[in-house]
Structure 1
Amino acid sequence: MAVLGVALAYLGFIGTARSVPSLSSIGSDLTLLYNNDLDRPNAPQHKSAIMLTSRNVLAAEEACTTLGETLLPINTTFFATDLPSTLEYQVFQGVVPSTQEFWVASKGLECQVVNTQGHVSTSSCLRELPALCSQNAGFMAGPETATSLTVHAQNLEITGFRDQLSFKFIGIPYADQPARWTYSTPYTGPTTINATSFGPSCVQTGTTGTSEECLFLNIWTPFIPENVATTPKPKLKAVIFWIHGGAFTGGSGADPTFDGGNFASRGDVVLVTINYRLSTLGFLALNDGVTNGNFGFADQIQALEWVQQYISAFGGDPERITIYGQSAGAASVRALMASPKAIGKFAAAIPSSNLGGDNYAMTYSLYYTIPQEVSVAVDPILQETGCNNATDTLACLKAIDGNTLVNLPDVARYLVVDGTFLTSTGLPLNGSGPIANVHTLMGFMRDDGAAFIGYPTNDNVTDGLLGAFIPLSVEDNPLFPLPTGSNATLDIFNLTSRANTDIEFRCVDQATAISAVKHNLLKSVWFYEFNRSYQTSPGFDPNFPVCDAPVDAEHPFGDPTKEYFKCHSGDLFYTFGNLPTQTLPYRDADDLPFMQVTLDSWASFARTFNPNPDPAFLKARGFSGTAALIAKQSPWEPVTHANVNDKPLRVLQVPSFMDVFSEAEQCEFMGLPLESLFG
């Protein structure tokens, strides 16, 4: 105890000026412990802590002080509720034994420890034990000197910060700034990087503060190793590499919908989001043999390579990267699965709401040749810019402001067969070309196509079909019966939405799973259909209010148990765990548990390549809500040869269940047969 007194006296002399600590100055791995139930309104009531590797109590005090914290003060409530599950999870992972004790704040000159059940006792001060530091950064807190941290990632020194949920490193440049319409190359800029604020989004329409210097990525992580070289492989976390959607013309890795704190904290994964060049600045292709397009797609691969090289310094396992994207992000995932430049650089894929088939959706899964893009998009761009008569077309376009280019009536937004990044016109699901043999989780919203057509302007069925670009043969067709409700325009919208979801999502995505299993192309395939949704309003709520749960006296924000359209992007709040927002509260008692089980399923897939959370994992984490919900429903089964014609599809709702691939006859009628579309 006298030794502790000397240590405390020494620590009292540490100056008030504080430099940003690094893992080497702390001398420890850092694990952020937080019992995350995803209930954001109550998040400030919970506390978190930082776990350090074994050391004596003097070194523990010093390391906590270096972090701007103290040894964890005794808090009876916290030690009885939140702390035990976070420590039990360390036991579950094999990081510590069940009998482990941890240094916490001393009582006078008496050293104190806490065990994995949260019980506090006094102990000899001469032992070496893992330590628990306080963690005073608040929920969704911004960067402060007191909560900053520098990570040494090979030649880079990257300073980020922490909040209540995770360590955050945002606005990291992953490539040198490329000249317009050249491919990005690895980052070689200053090696000291301030990663405490998002970099600008790529130039796009309808958004201010954008830039052509926009190739940044963002990292959320629950764990940072002191020394990657000596860190056991099992301690590294699975990585989710998120690619935003937005029609290849908009979007950003900084969108708060995709904030990775909850994914990292509750899912125990490292979450990465990226920017990539968009619109004509990212996808222009010319018939000049040099400007071959896919610049934004190549940016995604460049970011993926950065993650492969550096993510272990942030606690991520480069051999367990899951690429995940929605809408145009899903199209990107699908293209990465076909790209010779990307195959082998990820272990799993989640293409959510991938477009394909016909109409607007066709080019997301069936790629133009360069001459086709020139005809469809570039020739009109040249007309609109006056560059059609220029002796040097490329030089003429380079002289035009980027914001002008992305706001033209026509833009280049297409993936193309360039011969390098994409060598086939689509994902070769008949085994005729390269394809990433990875674990795959895929699916769509029940009414994904409702977002891509307009609402009928009158009660004429023919007009409704023409306005939605649906074949007139759908009218009076027993495969597509017209509902007979009290609202004629809503009846027509039900018809056109169903048909368009088949044409642009359901048929192609189900056929993809069937063909992949038929030809044994993927390590596993898991398929879903969301039958519960919450639109990202006001960001994206098409044909308002049909995509929103109907309001009644008992449900002023909507009743999700009643019928409404489950529309495009309505899954994102659930998978990222980011409800409620300031304007979007919980609508009923199931929004929170459904969000919990959805995030837990997605994170389970990233960690284990199986979306069924391990009951032992749930018990160790204290995730009783998810455990109770999955106990009421059958397991999620993968798509296999044995069940592909039975019930291979998971309907995600409360409770979830297995069902058949739907609309087979309708897909056949539309020329998109499930069994033979891809051979």
Structure 2
Amino acid sequence: MFRILAAFAVFLQTVSATSLGIVSTEGGLVEGQNILLENNRYVDVFRGIPFADIPARFEKPKRHPGWDGVLQTTKYQRRCLQVDLTMTGTMGSEDCLYLNIWVPHGSSVSTNLPVMVWIYGGGFATGGAMGVNFLNNYLYDGQELANRGNVIVVTLGYRLGPLGFLSTGDSDMPGNYGMWDQQAAIAWVHRNIWSFGGDPSNITIFGESAGGVSVSLQTLSPHNKGLIRRAISQSGVAMCPWAISKNPRKFAEEVARKVNCPIDSNMVSCLKTVDSATLTVAGTVNMSGSPDNPVVNNLVLSPVVDGDFLPDEPHNLFHNAAEIDFLAGTNDMDGRMYGGMDIPSVNDDALETPVEDVKRLLAALTKEKGQMGFDGAYATYSATWGSSPSNEVVKKTVVAIETDYLFLIPTQTTLYLHAGSATTGRTYSYLFSVPNRMGGLMPPFPSWMGADHTDDLQYVFGKPLSTPLIYRAEDKALSQSMIAYWTNFAKTGDPNSGGLSVPVTWPAFTNADHKFLELNGNINSASVQDMLRLGYVYFWTSYLPDLPEVTSK
């Protein structure tokens, strides 16, 4: 009788819940949490699966040794060690190489689903696989994206700051440890995702800001050959001026001096002995800028051309992405935050932003080309001003300069390079232009705000759908559309086909017509446009580089 009752209980469990149950991975068995959703759908969530061992200082990650029994993966693990908001303390742990998986199910357990692997941003210095948390609502919770798009979503941790990116520029401390962590996670997913109902031959990596740069660089690295099918870079690509550290040794020596290490042949061995929190704080980059020394010049802790992960400069590696479908874009005011760091008056409607500050900023960004570079830049950005530009026009110009230089022009360049090198890989371009909801309420959110840096994230991860009370109808519609475009792309390489309907057909980007889609609360046929900021693209990619250099960068 007991066996009959036990069997009946198991039967009831199987008919009332669709779940993977205990899953076998290369490290051992894992068990997550099964959640009942609407419409008799379920999602299995696995939080905190180790994809590599606890990393050794300044070394590539190694495979996890495994575990006995069933690992209960129901809690997020700590984020990688990083500075806190005070910039003088730290949070997180060196034991941080874990990933999280969301697997959606309908009436039966899913099999052969496309896989989307998220790489978070944060300037290679901060961030986490879960994202910011408000009332236990994590930004990078993959549930909405997984369920609505019928894809598996994976988020991962990677080393940050000096532990992830400090480099001497040679074999002593080659750097890119955070990039190797990402690559190890992608490889783990490729080897193990079949057990979770995923298709290892259909992996899309996607990310934003430094995560977007990371995605772009992962497609260019020869170490991912055959692992990545598609990629989405949001507000960050390989060609960004802050994506690659040009003189890593100089910053490594600055950090060494701060922690009382020599800058000779013993520097690396000394740095390995320094307390991890002390080293992390010592490796904090200076985020203060001015018109004459923009903050972009201080973003020096980033990936490097190491001859291994990146065997050459990024622009020479696009052949490695020839078979990868690539979708990329920026927000229309991605540079607002950085413009406000360099010229603080930009953020306050009540303060005047002098034209002289615009000139100083352009002079700083074009200084290696001297007077001719500055003259061309100023003529380009003041062309529509008229004789007496308003204060708002001047402020918007500062934001346009920073957006173009840091994000938009590098993204267009990356799209050109991908489209030009592609064999079977398709290319798609977008501009996200939903005005920030904080605009005009108080500094640092001026009244004329467009889409700020990171404003796109809430829509991709379905926040207007999971927390609808604080969003408008058009926000919910946009989130549904972006989830449809993103997950269709992950399934087929075409954002228009993959099972979810979209408001308008998004044409591919080619070097002949430069088509792009503007994403906002009213996507229609007029949202399909071409030649995004072509005059500015021409200035930064053709006119300026062709001028003779008068000073080194």
- TM-score normalised by structure 2 residue count: 0.81
SS where residue 490 of structure 1 aligns?
helix
Separation in structure 1 between the aligned mates of residue 391 and residue 466 of structure 2, nearest angstrom:
32
Separation in structure 2 between the aligned mates of residue 151 and residue 498 of structure 1, nearest angstrom:
49
Determine if the alignment matches structure 1 residue 313 to structure 2 residue 195: yes
SS where residue 241 of structure 2 aligns?
helix
SS where residue 83 of structure 2 aligns?
coil
**Structure 1 spans left out of the alignment, 5+ residues:** 1-8, 15-58, 68-131, 136-146, 551-562, 619-626
Residue of 241, 266, 273 corresponding to 1:362: 241
Tell me whether 478-487 or 327-336 shows the greater mean CA deviation: 478-487
CA spacing shift, 1:425–1:390, aligned 2, 3 Å: closer
Separation in structure 1 between the aligned mates of residue 71 and residue 215 of structure 2, nearest angstrom:
29
Determine if the alignment matches structure 1 residue 198 to structure 2 residue 66: no
Q: Which aligned pairs between 1:11-50 and structure 2 lie closer than 5 A?
A: 13-14=5-6
Query: Does the CA contact (< 8 Å) of 1:511 and 1:674 recur in 2?
Result: no
The corresponding residue for 1:332 is 214
Residue of 105, 108, 116 corresponding to 1:240: 116
Tell me whether 216-225 or 176-185 shows the greater mean CA deviation: 216-225
Query: Does the CA contact (< 8 Å) of 2:142 and 2:461 recur in 1?
Result: yes
Separation in structure 2 between the aligned mates of residue 378 and residue 528 of structure 1, nearest angstrom:
37
Structure exhibiting the larger radius of gyration computed from Cα positions: 1
| 1:408 to partner: Cα distance | 2.2
The corresponding residue for 1:404 is 278
The corresponding residue for 2:52 is 175
Separation in structure 2 between the aligned mates of residue 676 and residue 422 of structure 1, nearest angstrom:
26
SS where residue 274 of structure 2 aligns?
coil
The corresponding residue for 1:655 is 523
Q: Which aligned pairs between 1:571-650 and structure 2 lie closer than 5 A?
A: 571-579=456-464, 585-586=470-471, 588-613=472-497, 617-618=499-500, 627=501, 630=503, 633=504, 635-640=505-510, 644-645=512-513, 648-650=515-517
Q: Which amino acid in structure 2 is aligned with residue 175 of structure 1?
A: A
Separation in structure 2 between the aligned mates of residue 250 and residue 167 of structure 1, nearest angstrom:
28
Equivalences, count: 497
The corresponding residue for 1:544 is 444
CA spacing shift, 1:491–1:309, aligned 2, 3 Å: same
Separation in structure 1 between the aligned mates of residue 127 and residue 105 of structure 2, nearest angstrom:
28
Q: Which amino acid in structure 2 is aligned with residue 426 of structure 1?
A: P
Query: Does the CA contact (< 8 Å) of 1:355 and 1:362 recur in 2?
Result: no
Query: Does the CA contact (< 8 Å) of 1:183 and 1:295 recur in 2?
Result: yes
Query: Does the CA contact (< 8 Å) of 1:664 and 1:674 recur in 2?
Result: no
Encode CA deviations 1:198-248: one digit per residue, 9 max, x unaligned: 11100111166510111000000114999xxxx9xx931000010001000
Separation in structure 2 between the aligned mates of residue 277 and residue 134 of structure 1, nearest angstrom:
37
**Structure 2 spans left out of the alignment, 5+ residues:** 38-42, 132-137, 286-299, 346-351, 367-373, 548-553
The corresponding residue for 1:440 is 326
Encode CA deviations 1:394-444: one digit per residue, 9 max, x unaligned: 232122222222222655622111111110111426x6x533521111111
The corresponding residue for 1:278 is 160
Determine if the alignment matches structure 1 residue 462 to structure 2 residue 324: no
Q: Which amino acid in structure 2 is aligned with residue 545 of structure 1?
A: F
Higher normalized helix content (fraction of residues):
2
Determine if the alignment matches structure 1 residue 163 to structure 2 residue 41: no
Residue of 422, 426, 439 corresponding to 2:314: 426
Q: Which amino acid in structure 1 is aligned with residue 402 of structure 2?
A: N
| 1:356 to partner: Cα distance | 6.4
Identity %: 27
The corresponding residue for 1:530 is 432
Separation in structure 2 between the aligned mates of residue 478 and residue 509 of structure 1, nearest angstrom:
19
Residue of 368, 380, 391 corresponding to 2:254: 380
Separation in structure 1 between the aligned mates of residue 258 and residue 338 of structure 2, nearest angstrom:
26
| 1:501 to partner: Cα distance | 1.6
State the superposition RMSD in angstroms.
3.5
Query: Does the CA contact (< 8 Å) of 1:528 and 1:649 recur in 2?
Result: yes
Residue of 665, 668, 677 corresponding to 2:535: 665
CA spacing shift, 1:459–1:520, aligned 2, 3 Å: closer
Q: Which amino acid in structure 1 is aligned with residue 174 of structure 2?
A: N
| 1:482 to partner: Cα distance | 6.3
Query: Does the CA contact (< 8 Å) of 2:214 and 2:237 recur in 1?
Result: no
Separation in structure 1 between the aligned mates of residue 58 and residue 305 of structure 2, nearest angstrom:
16
CA spacing shift, 1:671–1:263, aligned 2, 3 Å: closer
Query: Does the CA contact (< 8 Å) of 1:286 and 1:292 recur in 2?
Result: yes
- TM-score normalised by structure 1 residue count: 0.67
SS where residue 23 of structure 2 aligns?
strand
CA spacing shift, 1:295–1:488, aligned 2, 3 Å: same
The corresponding residue for 1:292 is 174
Query: Does the CA contact (< 8 Å) of 2:322 and 2:418 recur in 1?
Result: no
